[in-house]
Amino acid sequence: MTRLKVFQPALIPGLLQTPEYIHAILSRHGLTDDVLNKTTRSRLERQRVLYDVNKDQQFVITENVLRWRIVSPGRMAEQVDRLISLSRLSNVDVAVVPFSAQQADIANHAFVMRDERTVTVETVHAEIVVTDPRDVAEYVEKFERFSAVALHGDEMREMLEELRNELLREQENG
């Protein structure tokens, strides 16, 4: 795989998550402490792929992903800082679809596209692998529609910095 595209309307994508965010997500599944810790470490190890400049990685998330309190405001501010930092990598594009963007599509589920040949659709109970070129093309188009209305680069980082400051104020006042 040389090109990864991730669309996520519900959570921070796994490759971008902080350890605390990973732990908070996984702890909702009734795992034992041992399994929880091993799974968290495994997810963190997978994040090394972000630093492989031979892999182009694009992430499109919706604004609500950033506003849901999966972790405390202080931990969420750390998560937002991680997104800002990772967005500066030359091979990583983090984009955010703001609430204010006019929508031409519906963010009904997460999906991961590998080299625009395979799509993994994430549902509540299963992952569906899509390989038929016509079906994959639908996901390519969906990804591009959301990416087109998303904030990228400095504009996205400015939005995230404002959000981080809101979170820090919330932490201070809470």
**Banded pLDDT at 139 (limits 50, 70, 90):** very high
- Residue with the bigger pLDDT between 174 and 59: it is 59
pLDDT at 174 over 80: no
Query: In angstroms, rounded to a whole number, what is the distance separating the alpha carbons of residues 14 and 43?
Result: 7
Question: How high does pLDDT run on average in the chain?
Answer: 95
Name the token pair of 54. 């031979």
**Banded pLDDT at 94 (limits 50, 70, 90):** very high
Query: In angstroms, rounded to a whole number, what is the distance separating the alpha carbons of residues 32 and 19?
Result: 17
User: Would you identify the CATH topology of the domain 3-173?
Assistant: Endonuclease; Chain A (3.30.870)
Q: What is the DSSP letter of 1?
A: -
- In this prediction, residues 125-149 reach a mean pLDDT of 95
The angle that helices 19-26 and 33-46 make with each other, rounded to 10 degrees, is 140
Alpha-carbon distance values, 15 to 10, 25, 44, 83, 131 (Å) = 14, 13, 8, 10, 23
CB atoms closer than 10 angstroms to residue 146: 21
What are the tens digits of pLDDT across the range 15-63?
999 999 999 999 888 888 999 999 999 999 999 999 999 999 999 999 9
Query: In angstroms, rounded to a whole number, what is the distance separating the alpha carbons of residues 135 and 140?
Result: 9
